[in-house]
Structure 1
């Protein structure tokens, strides 16, 4: 095992089955010794050999019969030898006394992470939440598909992986607290809440393209085709994402400067959206006869965000993913080899990815836990309430990913300094004209302090380097090479502070032929196969309409992936005294999430495409109409037992007719009571009054003096037994804390601060306009 992996020495007992297994996989990728416990005969999730193999690679495996006293005794012994237990145990095992509470009572220093579909409390506690059900209730479905048509479920796997990464972060946050205090923690992770708050939250940060859309939440599902349009070309499709005025000007030049769009008003995203019925046909005609590769090369040369829209088979064959190491040919489970993803991120230049296949049933029975350099403490100063209090983070990040990564750290007590230049405001600030604050920025920058600084000047860069001397983490998400050009790469900063951790993220990473491309979430989705799979099935008249335009995936969950890496590196630093350089490509996140589909396509070419509705009486997830206008329920038949239960409920009536006579909530409630996975399509405002989310306190109210009214916001990462919900300090105005930081953290005297402000190196909030 590599000595660079930050979680080496961490011991994890994995009592999960199904989608939750991916939580332990990510911890194992980062070096943890993860021991998977299966029942006699193996886990039921082995029926999906590809999915099981990918979720359980890098783990060891044992068999314990937890319905028997001997098995339970052995489990309690093992629990005393590990740091974290992750569980999603079935009801019969819980009824036998193997509960999270019992594990924690036996070992008070243990971190026990309970991953359930809807949480361990509340009116839906006994509901079943599959990928499709969680997509419906988590707000994903209500922003997908064409108006007037049935909404579309996202590609299989990306919702489940969202939950797993969310749980991994909650586990490490709880571990940091345990290492501070010695006291264990019970972590209640609700998959439902993880999707609501972690996939693409309606009440969370939005990309700068939100300038073209209303911040309110209309009832109708959006026609998202104009947001990030896809155009046919000579040999496929390409997508563009024109956000900044300079990008539009480059596109305008490429089109031959048509007089119709010469007015400067078209520099604004909102105006271009309104004119899409005239602008997009012009672009389509310009692209129609040119091959994809030529369009992407020329667009990239011009500084236009553009990508090919690839199918799963094309993703598998792409030179970029081979060169970057994102995809490899490997054995994932005994006797099954495929082309598969090779991990989320790199640590000090080494991929934290696939090292060995998933274990055979009971492969490591009788083996002792390996000797390890255990994590025993953290080296963070301060005694604040948050598990990460005492940390200082220099936040150079922008837009959704940049905001979310450091917001997750700030919520847990880190002192995050949001560094920005007033001449180039963060895209989140630009979602409204002439405004320094909006809901999107307020969500993403809560609990942070603001430092206005001109990084283009040598003095500004020198100030950052001075802050690095006492900082713990630096984050950025720019085009590869940007931090190096500023003198702020890991290799440069570690010379100043050997303990510094630098998280550098981009769309496609620093290695491979796509590394020079501009990238936003829509381009990542197009290039990684997500867009091709998120559309109506072949044969449908709208098959060529790509329906992923209104989501911000994978930005939010990629930020969770990055936060797991940062916290893991901080824990490792407590043992080694050394910092780490972390690199994350958002494209790799999407590739990992599509891993089972990509592996299937590599084994059975042509087998993977957009999902089809199940045949009547057959297995699969379907979206069915309900009483009312554009009201829908998802029903997911997993097996013959579900099919039998469904037939008993409907009495032989066609399912579509049965649901049409009921509201989505009524249909879902009846089906769930019978044990059939089902969930209503919740629109975003519905989440604020949903009984389960209300009961579990999933939302709180965020106030900001610059906003007209309070806004709902994410209340917590998970429900912890002792870790309090994060504070809700308002997001900073540009440069709001510049003087405070320069005086207290840098030790500058009043005269020097004033001189730097006069020179524009330091920046403070603009004076209010005179009445």
Structure 2
């Protein structure tokens, strides 16, 4: 994304619905440019400066921070980032950033970096330990000189452990992170997830860790060293085997199949007249609606089929009936009829169909934008909306070194510009910045830092970086659990509010109450309040709690908060500082806003399912989809929203006002497909399952068999140097010359190349393949099954798991230990998840000031709900 608008250093945001070719009128460009600058001044991280020295997936961390308004300075070496070899991927990872070039192998360049670090709040770095030491720029060295700086080291495996020096690509992380083991058809080769999903997890996970550390800095004045492992981000963030799992429940060592789970019947896909549709029958009422649609066949009239296990067991008889009903009917008609009947159903859309979907155009999820000079494509605009404004793509990624001179002049002592080029830097094509681009508040105009904002949080940060924040958690299922848990783990007082008439779906997995591991994982460190929000008195009590709260989090269907009288506008009248996060499957606007939303339907509607299928199967094969046993985008959507909510807390310190946040999980699912969607918009019909390089054409990533029973590994060749190293390991150095020495030659003989490597890997265990190729500098990784994560040498060395106990669990369970290693922030506590209403009386006494008599009367009326007596026995 290295283009500019003629005569303007900042290209304007492109209006929704603009075509992907041709120029727009200058008046439209000016209007968009002004609107962009106004929006930027209201985004929550305005005033936060970030130095971005990252490569690969780590760049998406800075992109999200830039989307939220941070001033992100992208620092590249004189020759440019290696990532520029994949121009579309690079452009989307670096949109919204400023660009400068520094030679960090040169002393003058390093000194210029220190000058910039003196003006910054957060520094992101993905350099390995050896490179950092050679330059004298280790996190410890930087921290010693800049003790207020938050320094985030984001590397493949972290700064410790036996894999510390390994290299990892997205496919390798999918293998070692437990994703690959759940992807693919039983008995067949595992299937890599679509490119971008794993990288997205890493970037958003790191953004959360960075802001947690930054909030602590604002509260204490001291910086922080943060060690983020991309490997652990995938293990604990993508779809954790030992975390809130929804229907996956795959992390139980005794229950996880050795082969890929047969997930085709979980959320089945059926062919129809013009493609495929997917259904998601969970609740009894949904099955009953499907039963009626089928004409109430006597074979399935028994009430036992009201349960998911019974229908799953009868899939060989039930699914042919549904298939016959759907055959010959067009997708739109099936979706409309299913919606009318209350049957969760969605069309399985290809990338091309996603690009053409009216919903994504009307909501602004997809926009046409200049992504490189003279090149326009249709791309995702951003994750989330803040106060109705999309926090996302505002301007293209910078040209190489575009802002070097101005930024270094501004950072130099006294802010005085040096005559001529700045030593240690390169300035190819520098341009003047918009007048408002550098007034974010980190400098006061004299080169000195302005005063830090006071977050106004009353708690003691020694009890956790977010201690003193109060979150009223109305969230349900996976997304709701994850969002609240992230805050609770860092010390916030998270009050999970439930109504016994509408229990959280995760509680319903056991009859008669009790606790399951999934709920225990997702609700740890929270308090529980039983409250009927549908009653007038219950709603009044909730509003009173809002007076003393910071965040309200919900993920109901659109309009639910408004119907309860609990919209952001209504709650802001009570507490102008309140931040309200409202999430749903497809958002509150657009033609799909009224659809029932579950993760499998979101994946189908956003192109994820179409790209997550076995590429060796025919396009008409409805059994070829491989995303049925994962929970996506629920977990990562929770992380995305947590980052935005914490950013809103930071903005509130300056503005004094809260925020209305909206997350459509569909937007979260579309974002990582940006390179694929851009490629499809430029060359329709070219993006297909198995694409791993965003169109670069220089990558060979293969899932290959290893010695043993159903053992597999990933080998990922990124360019000619990797191929030469691999040829040496194979004992065939001659393969590094001639036709196969080039990416084009290898692609032309793909099957032959794959077979050649497979013969070598098949004679070795996955661990042997990983060790040998990593030692040679070739990215490779074993397919790790979820139970094996508990004994993985790297995860064990980094103490990535702890033991979670709960009095209502039959036994302790493993749980993720932390989001990152911090220099001063302690690991989260593991307080047990509350039973329904466990802290109702305590909260009513201490926060609402109710007497015991008042509480008793409200309990008798059903407004308040304390825990059942047997629940705490």
Deviates more, 1:569-578 or 1:269-278: 269-278
Give the deviation of 1:270 after TM superposition.
1.6
Mapped to 1, the partners of 2:138 and 2:250 lie a distance apart of 48
**Pairwise CA distance, 1:18:** 1.9
Deviates more, 1:320-329 or 1:374-383: 374-383
Per-residue CA distance 1:224-274 (angstroms, 9 max, x = gap): 101111111111111111111111111111111111111112121121111
Q: Distance in 2 between the 1:268 and 1:601 partners?
A: 41
| Structure 2, unaligned runs of 5 or more | 1-36, 411-437, 443-451, 733-754
Q: Which residue of 2 aligns with 1:71?
A: 109
Q: How much does 1:454 deviate?
A: 1.4
Q: How does 1:35-434 map to 2 (within 5 A)?
A: 35-89=73-127, 91-92=130-131, 94-208=133-247, 216-368=255-407, 369=410, 370-374=438-442, 375-383=452-460, 384-434=462-512
Task: Select the structure of larger CA radius of gyration.
Answer: 2
SS in 2 for 1:34: strand
1:339-379 CA-partner distances (Å, limit 9, x unpaired): 00000000000000111100001100111452323453321
Kept in 1, the 8 Å contact 2:349–2:604? The answer is yes
> Within 1, Cα distance between the matches of 2:832 and 2:840?
16
| Residue 658 (structure 1) aligned with residue 726 (structure 2) | no
Say which is worse superposed, 430-439 or 138-147, in terms of deviation. 430-439
2:721 aligns to what?
641
2:656 pairs with 1:577: yes
Is 2:672 the counterpart of 1:593?
Answer: yes
Preserved contact between residue 194 and residue 692 of structure 2 (Cα < 8 Å): no
Contact 2:514 2:871 in 1 (8 A): no
2:788 aligns to what? Answer: 686
Question: Aligned partners of 1:121, 1:275: CA distance in 2, in Å?
Answer: 49
1:469 to 547, 568, 575: 547
- Correspondence 1:483 to 2:569: no
Deviation (angstroms), 1:216: 2.9
Residue 612 of structure 1, CA deviation: 6.6
In structure 1, distance between residues paired with 2:851 and 2:807: 30
Match of 1:622 in 2: 702
Q: Residue 217 of structure 2 aligns to a residue in which SS?
A: helix
2:496 match: secondary structure: strand
Q: Which residue of 2 aligns with 1:558?
A: 637
Aligned equivalent of 2:590, options 512, 522, 525: 512
Q: CA RMSD in A?
A: 1.9
SS of 1:113 mapped into structure 2: strand
1:275 CA displacement: 1.3
CA contact (8 A) 2:698 2:718 kept: no
1:180 CA displacement: 0.7
Distance 1:613 1:530 in 2: 13
Partners of 1:698 and 1:336 in 2: CA distance: 44
Native 8 Å contact 1:209 1:269 kept in 2: no
Distance 1:213 1:245, change over 3 A: farther
Q: Say which SS state the counterpart of residue 654 (structure 1) adopts.
A: helix
- 2:641 paired with 1:602: no
**Cα deviations by residue, 1:669-725 (Å, 9 ceiling, x for unpaired):** 111000010000000011011110011111000000000100000100111111000
User: 2:162, 2:406 → 1: CA distance?
Assistant: 42
Which one of the candidate residues 580, 593, 602 is aligned to 1:524?
602
Per-residue CA deviation, residues 472-500 of structure 1 (Å, 9 max, x unaligned), is: 00000011101111111111111111000
8 A Cα contact 2:194 2:691, kept in partner: no
3-state DSSP class of the match of 1:21?
helix
Gap regions ≥5 residues in structure 1: none
Aligned partner of residue 86 in structure 1, secondary structure: strand
In structure 1, which of residues 631, 650, 653 is the aligned counterpart of residue 711 of structure 2? Answer: 631
State the secondary structure of the residue aligned to 2:636: helix
In the aligned structure 1, how far is the partner of 2:578 from the partner of 2:458?
15
> 1:572 Cα shift?
0.6
In structure 2, the CA distance between the partners of 1:93 and 1:749, relative to structure 1 (3 Å rule), is: closer
TM-score (norm 1): 0.97
- Whether 1:453 and 2:531 are equivalent positions in the alignment is yes
Q: 1:479 to 1:564 in 2, by over 3 A?
A: same
Counterparts in 2 of 1:650 and 1:666: CA distance versus 1, 3 Å: same
Structure 2 distance, partners of 1:69, 1:168, is 30
Residues 165 and 560, structure 1, Cα contact 8 Å, conserved in 2: yes
TM-score (norm 2): 0.86
- CA change 1:612–1:162 in 2 (3 A) is closer
The CA distance in 2 between the partners of 1:484 and 1:453, in whole Å, is 18
Paired positions, count:
769
SS at match of 1:77: helix
Work out whether residues 252 and 787 of structure 2, in 8 Å CA contact, stay in contact via their aligned partners in 1. Answer: no
Q: Residue 740 of structure 1 corresponds to which residue in structure 2?
A: 842
Please say if residues 212 and 271 of structure 1, whose CA atoms lie closer than 8 Å, have aligned partners that are also in contact. Answer: no
Question: Residues 668 and 678 of structure 1 are in contact (CA less than 8 Å); yes or no, is this contact kept in structure 2?
Answer: yes
Distance 2:758 2:441 in 1: 58
Q: Secondary structure at the match of 1:40?
A: coil
Contact 2:248 2:630 in 1 (8 A): no
Aligned pairs for 1:494-509 (under 5 A) are: 494-509=572-587
Partner of 1:676: 778
Residues 537, 543 of structure 1: 8 Å contact kept: no
Contact persistence 1:411–1:727 (CA under 8 A): yes
Q: Distance in 1 between matches of 2:774 and 2:329?
A: 51
Give the distance between the partners of 1:419 and 1:704, measured in 2 at CA.
Answer: 20
1:24 corresponds to: 62
CA distance in 1: counterparts of 2:152 and 2:699, whole angstroms: 31
CA contact (8 A) 1:111 1:171 kept: yes
Query: Are the counterparts in 1 of residues 521 and 815 from structure 2 also a CA contact under 8 Å?
Result: yes
Query: 1:339 aligns to what SS in structure 2?
Result: strand
CA distance in 2 between counterparts of 1:333 and 1:379 reads 43
Paired residues of 2:195 and 2:692 also in contact (CA < 8 A): no
Structure-2 change in CA distance of 1:177 and 1:215 (3 Å): farther
- C-alpha separation between the residues in 1 aligned to 2:779 and 2:120? 34
Contact 1:6 1:30 (8 Å CA) reproduced: yes
Once residues 358 and 189 of structure 2 are traced to their aligned partners in structure 1, the CA distance between those partners, rounded to angstroms, is 36
| Equivalent position of 1:547 in the other structure | 626
